[in-house]
Amino acid sequence: MAAPDARRRLRARLTSGPLVIAPGIYDAYGARLTEMAGFEAVYMTGNGVSASLLGRADVGLIDLTLFAQHAHRAAAAVDIPLICDADTGYGNAVNVRRTVEEFESAGVAAIHLEDQVMPKKCGHIPGARPVVSLLEHARKIEAAVAARRDPDFLIIARTDAAAGHGLDEAIARVRAYRAAGADVIFVETKTSPTLLDDARRITASVDAPALVNVEEFGPLGKLTTAQLEELGFRLAIYPGLARYAAGFGIRAALEALRTEGSTMPVRDRMLSFQEYNDAIRLGEIVEWERRYLPPADQA
């Protein structure tokens, strides 16, 4: 794990070079596969963590300690920066101080904090989300910035106000959150006939790097990364990527075993034993044993 270097690289990339693409994962294994695929950042989704650890929906059931410990294992498995969903900060401005301390200690490069009322719900679940006052969340962002020890640890301010209060209110909020010290702004948007125009307004309205949340089965999922960059975004997260792909693959393998008595029909869609061992760095362990463990006849 190289957290300080990873944070510096991520901060620098938000203002130069092409769009930063962070595929969504929910565990260390997914983080390793993302790094091996050549991506320069990875995103840990609260929805995926809730599904992975609890088998439940993303409705605020995961607490800070559970998530931070899980994030620590993922951050330790890779050298690329890990961005994490930190929900509402798990409380008020006092709670968010510990939230920042825990994620920073875990080796995470960035967290996003949303202005939903607790208990939160995933932004892609249908319906508007109640939000706290602009002032309350702006103070929470100030508290988060004050709590960090590494100035390269990024605070991403998210608002869920657009669905219930309109885009003007959402933009006013992220402007205030930027003034409070947020490094990146994030407006959660829903299906809209003017979605592309809304995106351009968001990125042009705030002097800060803007994050876009790409739901594969939503309208933004139809856009390429080049098109997202043209809209002015600097960071794109794909929260559903791993959980959708893994769920599909696991279900297909289970169905083949149940109906055919073997996984042979889907073997071409499974990693080989060698590919799996490469992903979990088994070779490093073998080399470590060779260097430091005495031969069996001398042990």
Report whether pLDDT(123) > 60.
no
At residue 117, the pLDDT reads 85
- 276 in catalytic set: no
Report how far apart, in Å, the C-alpha atoms of 193 and of each of 24, 188, 198, 233, 283 are. Answer: 26, 15, 9, 19, 51
Catalytic residue among 213, 215, 234, 243: 213
The full set of domain ranges for the chain reads: 3-246, 263-293
pTM: 0.93
User: CATH 3.40.50.300: does it fit domain 3-246?
Assistant: no
Neighbouring C-alpha atoms within 13 Å toward the C-beta of 28: 17
Q: How far apart are CA 178 and CA 215, in angstroms?
A: 24
277 included as an active-site residue: no
- Average pLDDT value over all residues in the chain: 93
| Known catalytic membership, residue 114 | yes
Residues 70, 112, 137, 243: which is the catalytic one?
112
Given a cut of 90, whether residue 120 has pLDDT beyond it is no
pLDDT tens-digit series, residues 135-153: 999 999 999 999 999 999 9
Question: Is 58 a residue of the active site?
Answer: yes
Which amino acid is residue 267, in one-letter code? R
Q: What is the DSSP letter of 75?
A: H
